[in-house]
């Protein structure tokens, strides 16, 4: 039986990938952020998951506003990365896991989540920006397979926070009903507080970010009950994408241990990365 071994929450700021590609790991402005990802890379190296399921959003690179799905699951045998206008990042493509992805699709539709299914659509920085910091990669590929699950956090109406939390719970049921022996890690991306347009452009709220990171561990139901307007008011317009962290949290157990938390605010977006494992009953 497949099992979820843990969850990761991470920002997906495009400049993370840019700084990585330009070798800024020891640059004083970027070193704290890179240091924050080192325990995540080590945890993944130690736990050796077979598959990573990643909740991410596409920034109008593969899905466009004339047809932007609420939830879309990638079932390709391999996934390429998008050219977002400045050339493709120097990253190899990553293997998919079609058998697991198709099983997830079948089970989640049966669980009344109407997914869009996609193949051969490149993944943008919503996925590849944190991925490049978390996992080793070379011309031979990556050490895990990837099942990407896109969430609409761009074009209203958005799925509610509670819908995303329930999506994660449905994902757990689907994974645990898969017969092959697989270790799966679930990743939720986005945020934290930021706004990139309008009168509040450049807005951040570290106090709310810290409260959010506490609540995602201890009271995710409170976050699930919040409205989009609450997320926007507290964290800025683009911070609503943190509902994808709730999808990841929903895929974990009722009680979790936070193994790692890093928070760094040096640009217009508060960048964070965390690791969670289910509490084991004594």
DSSP state of 10: E
Among this protein's residues, is 125 annotated catalytic?
Answer: yes
Cis peptide bond prior to 199, omega within 30° of 0: no
Can you state the angle between helices 31-47 and 14-21, rounded to 10 degrees? 90
Kindly name the residue from 194, 197, 228, 260 that is annotated as catalytic.
194
Residue with tokens 């869009």: 116
Kindly name the residue from 12, 79, 103, 125 that is annotated as catalytic.
125
- Contacts of 81-87 with C-beta under 8 Å, sequence gap 24+, read 81/122, 81/123, 81/124, 81/127, 81/128, 82/122, 82/123, 82/124, 82/128, 83/122, 84/14, 84/59, 84/124, 84/125
Among this protein's residues, is 97 annotated catalytic?
Answer: no
The 3-state DSSP class for residue 159 equals coil
The set of residues, in sequence order, having a beta carbon less than 8 Å from that of 30 and lying 6+ positions away, is 19, 24, 266
Catalytic residue numbers? 125, 194
């Amino acid at each position: 039986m497949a099992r979820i071994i843990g969850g990761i929450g991470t920002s997906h700021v495009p400049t993370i990938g840019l700084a990585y590609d330009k070798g800024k790991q020891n640059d004083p402005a970027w070193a704290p952020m890179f240091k924050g990802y080192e325990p995540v890379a080590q945890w993944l190296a130690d736990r050796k998951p077979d598959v990573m399921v990643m909740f991410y959003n596409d920034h109008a690179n593969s899905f466009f506003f004339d047809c932007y799905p609420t939830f879309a699951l990638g079932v390709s045998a391999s996934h390429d990365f998008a050219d977002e206008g400045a050339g493709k990042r120097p990253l190899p493509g990553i293997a998919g896991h079609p058998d697991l992805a198709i099983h997830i699709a079948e089970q989640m539709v049966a669980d009344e989540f109407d997914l869009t299914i996609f193949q051969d659509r490149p993944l943008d920085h919503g996925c590849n920006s944190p991925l490049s910091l978390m996992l080793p990669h070379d011309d031979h590929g990556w050490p895990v397979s990837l099942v990407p699950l896109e969430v609409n956090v761009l074009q209203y109406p958005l799925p509610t926070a509670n819908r995303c939390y329930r999506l994660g719970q449905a994902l757990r049921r689907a994974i645990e009903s898969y017969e092959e022996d697989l270790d799966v890690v679930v990743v939720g991306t986005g945020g934290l507080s930021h706004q990139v347009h309008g009168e509040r452009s450049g807005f951040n709220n570290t106090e709310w970010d810290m409260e959010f990171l506490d609540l995602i561990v201890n009271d995710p139901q409170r976050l699930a009950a919040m409205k989009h307007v609450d997320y926007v008011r507290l964290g800025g317009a683009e911070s609503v994408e943190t509902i994808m962290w709730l999808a990841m949290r929903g895929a974990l157990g009722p009680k979790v241990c936070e193994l790692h938390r890093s928070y760094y605010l040096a640009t217009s977006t508060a960048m964070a990365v965390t690791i969670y494992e289910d509490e084991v009953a004594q």
